[in-house]
Structure 1
Amino acid sequence: MLIGFAALSLTALGSCTTLRKSASTAKDFKVVGYFTPGTAEPERLPLQYLTHINYSFAIPAPTGDTLLPLRQDETLKRLVAHAHRKQQTEVFISVGGWDIGDGGGEDGRFHRMAERPEGRHTFVKSVMHLVRKYTLDGVDLDWEYPDENHRSAEDYVLLVSELADSLHASGKKLTAAVVASGSKGYGTKKEALDKMDWVNLMAYDGDYGGDILKAHSPYSYAVQSINYWINERKLPASKALIGLPFYSKKGFGQFGPTYQQLIADGASAYDDYWKGAFYNGINTIEAKTRLARKMGLGGVMIWEIGLDTADDTSLLKAIDRAKR
């Protein structure tokens, strides 16, 4: 796999030459990690390698216009206390996700809320209440996905505008998770992107398209995602964070072991494939991080930081080396 990775990297990088920007500086380079309660103890997270943590998830109620009470909110309180005590890592709440209760991949709750002015207003009030209650630094909106040929694309703009104005007025930030590339991305219109502080490009799960060359998250998929959002969609490079997976996929759409589990079971930290599982090892993670720096991206995003190792095989440590 290392030989294949090297050849693919050279080919993919060649297709990215039109993106050449001034390199981002290590000081401004963001490392954003999603975190779900139960994967790690908050106090054990290596904050020295992270600029932001997105606590996942706050789930909209069935009506969409309010948020359900957080499960394990004591974990969020511990995380915020730990991060703010160190004064180096900001904590956001991620709202939504792939499965928000209406069945896998259904986003009906967002649709029902955003199509009504009163729904959007009530939703924003609910989000702002949560931000204040837990002393959060921002919100990551994870609506998967507003549709280009549906009124939800326009509703999304209205929702983002109201939410961004409320957050920014309070000194808070708004980000969003967006699809890696393709037709689903057009539902996130320029007017919405303009209101966001940055966006997290979910450049993984590429195997859902049935293309073995996109088995989960190869280097070429990161290049494709960057090309789509910066070249085609004209997103400023500084507002794009490329997504990195700390988990594997087996076959098409089937989740495999976490990176931590793979290493414990004997997989190499430097390969990208082991016993039917596609993953990102140290070489690929470092290459993608260097690409992000070279292209002037705002940084990298990770799903999910609790799945990393704590020794020299750590992918967070690899990101830290490569970003310098």
Structure 2
Amino acid sequence: MKFYFFACLLFTGLGLRAQTTSGKTANDFKVIGYYTPGSAEPESLPLNYLTHINYSFSIPAPSGDTLVPLRDDSILKRLVKHAHGGKVQVFISIGGWGIGDGGGEDGRFHRMAERAEGRKTFIKSTMDLVKKYDLDGVDLDWEYPDEDSQSADDYVMLVKDLAAQLHAQNKLLTAAVVARGKKGYGVKKEAFMAMDWINLMAYDGDFGGDIVKAHSPYAYAQESLNYWLDERKLPASKAVLGLPFYSKLGFGKFGPTYKQLVADGASAYDDYWKGAFYNGINTIEAKVRLAKQKGCAGVMIWEIGLDTADDTSLLKAIDRAKR
């Protein structure tokens, strides 16, 4: 997902509760937006279309045991003030892609989680951060614990201990996970059952999946849900389907944001323009309806600062489709 902004970007409980086809109400359906500083001013984020915002990212130190202090924590403070004023919860997302410095992209997580003392210190650092900024939860973005290895078991122990401490403080724990495939088995059932929900990164399919170039078509969302719900037996009530607000140019190359595409003349209703594959309004609405039909907990977005603010808005499309 989360290329560290492409390598370095509650429910409201209010109003009428429109019934959905899954038995959930529109207000029960989570709309979770990842947010990176610089993509938009915190106060500009449209809270009426969101239930949660994941501030991205807090980064583990090279040892993995502690978290690196935020470069400018005033942005997170502004975000929390704005979001809480609109009854939207704020989580801290820890990790992301591209934080490795030896030992693989996720070497810092490996070095921390393989030691009981490392896990303990990491959890204390995380809980201190949650308390300091009055956050509502933690989104763990370890990309990725290895399947059939010690790190998958280490991940389980980390998640269980972190969840216990967060839940004791009435805070929540989630995680971002790969869309499907072998890497997904690094997240064992014992891990995802300890979490409140998991965010399925059903995009970047052009990195080597069998749906090349298209990045995140409707079929990829179907494959991701089939993998997690049917093959992995993740309860639908813990599944949150990921939606992209950016484009890809094929084979791992990032393209313009949705906002940039529309400004340059791309149709808000198509999925392809001048070599860029993206999700327009029709596809976004279809994916939201799919998530509802499957009984999922909701949808999440990478990244909310990349949306438009007029009638072409994808957040507005999500809001329409969830009702």
TM-score by length of 2: 0.92
Report the aligned-residue RMSD: 1.4
Q: CA deviation at 1:102?
A: 2.1
Farther off after superposition, 141-150 or 208-217: 208-217
Structure 2: gaps spanning 5 or more residues: 1-20
The whole-number CA distance in structure 1 between the counterparts of 2:239 and 2:211 is 26
Equivalent residues of 1:214, 1:221 under 8 A apart: no
Counterpart of 1:32 in structure 2: which amino acid?
Answer: I
How far apart, in 1, do the equivalents of 2:103 and 2:237 lie?
32
Q: 1:145 to 1:189 in 2, by over 3 A?
A: same
Q: Distance in 2 between matches of 1:173 and 1:297?
A: 18
**Which residue of the partner structure matches residue 106 of structure 2?**
107
* Structure 2 counterpart of 1:43: 43
Q: What is residue 61 of structure 1 aligned with on the other side? A: 61
Amino acid at match of 2:276: A
Aligned ranges 1:123-138 → 2 under 5 Å: 123-138=122-137
Ranked by relative contact order (alpha carbons within 8 Å, sequence separation 6 or more), the top structure is 1
- Between the aligned partners of 2:118 and 2:210, the Cα distance in structure 1 is 39
SS at match of 1:32: strand
* Cα separation, 1, equivalents of 2:284 and 2:102: 32
Q: Does 1:252 align with 2:242?
A: no
Match of 1:320 in 2: 319
Q: 1:104 & 1:261 partners in 2: Cα distance?
A: 36
Cα deviation for residue 26 of structure 1 reads 1.1
Q: Give the superposition deviation at 1:210.
A: 5.5
Identity of aligned residues (%): 77
- When structure 1 is superposed on structure 2, of 201-210 and 159-168 the one drifting more is 201-210
Distance in 2 separating the partners of 1:255 and 1:172: 34
**2:32 maps to 1:32:** yes
2:142 aligns to what? 143
Tell me, yes or no, if the aligned pair for 2:146 and 2:186 is still in contact at 8 Å: yes
Q: CA deviation at 1:101?
A: 4.3
Match of 1:266 in 2: 265
Please give the residue correspondences for 1:211-290 in structure 2 after superposition, counting only pairs within 5 Å. 211-213=210-212, 215-290=214-289
CA separation of 1:116 and 1:100: change in aligned 2, threshold 3 A: same
Amino acid at match of 1:299: G
Once residues 301 and 104 of structure 1 are traced to their aligned partners in structure 2, the CA distance between those partners, rounded to angstroms, is 30
Kept in 2, the 8 Å contact 1:42–1:75? The answer is yes
SS in 1 for 2:27: coil
Does the C-alpha gap of structure 1 residues 141 and 267 become closer, same or farther in structure 2, counting only changes over 3 Å?
Answer: same
Which residue number in structure 1 is paired with residue 17 of structure 2?
none
Q: Structure 2: which amino acid aligns with 1:278? A: F
> Is the Cα–Cα contact under 8 Å of residues 37 and 72 in structure 1 kept in the other structure?
no
5 Å-filtered alignment, 1:144-163, equals: 144-163=143-162
Which secondary structure state, in structure 2, belongs to the residue aligned with residue 223 of structure 1? helix
CA distance in 2, matches of 1:191, 1:210: 26
* CA separation of 1:22 and 1:85: change in aligned 2, threshold 3 A: closer
Deviation readout 1:14-38 (Å, 9 max, x if unpaired): xxxxxxx945321210000000000
1:103 positional shift:
7.3
C-alpha contact (below 8 Å) 1:98/1:104 kept by paired residues: no
Say yes or no: does 1:165 pair with 2:125: no
Cα deviation, residue 148, structure 1: 1.4
Between the aligned partners of 2:287 and 2:104, the Cα distance in structure 1 is 27
| Partner amino acid, structure 1, of 2:24 | S
Residue 181 of structure 1: aligned partner: 180
How many equivalent residue pairs?
A: 303
Structure 1 distance, partners of 2:26, 2:198, is 19
Q: TM-score, normalised by structure 1?
A: 0.91
CA contact (8 A) 1:141 1:175 kept: yes
For residue 121 of structure 1, what is the aligned residue in structure 2? 120
Map 1:78-89 → 2, pairs under 5 A: 78-86=78-86, 88-89=87-88
Partner of 1:70: 70
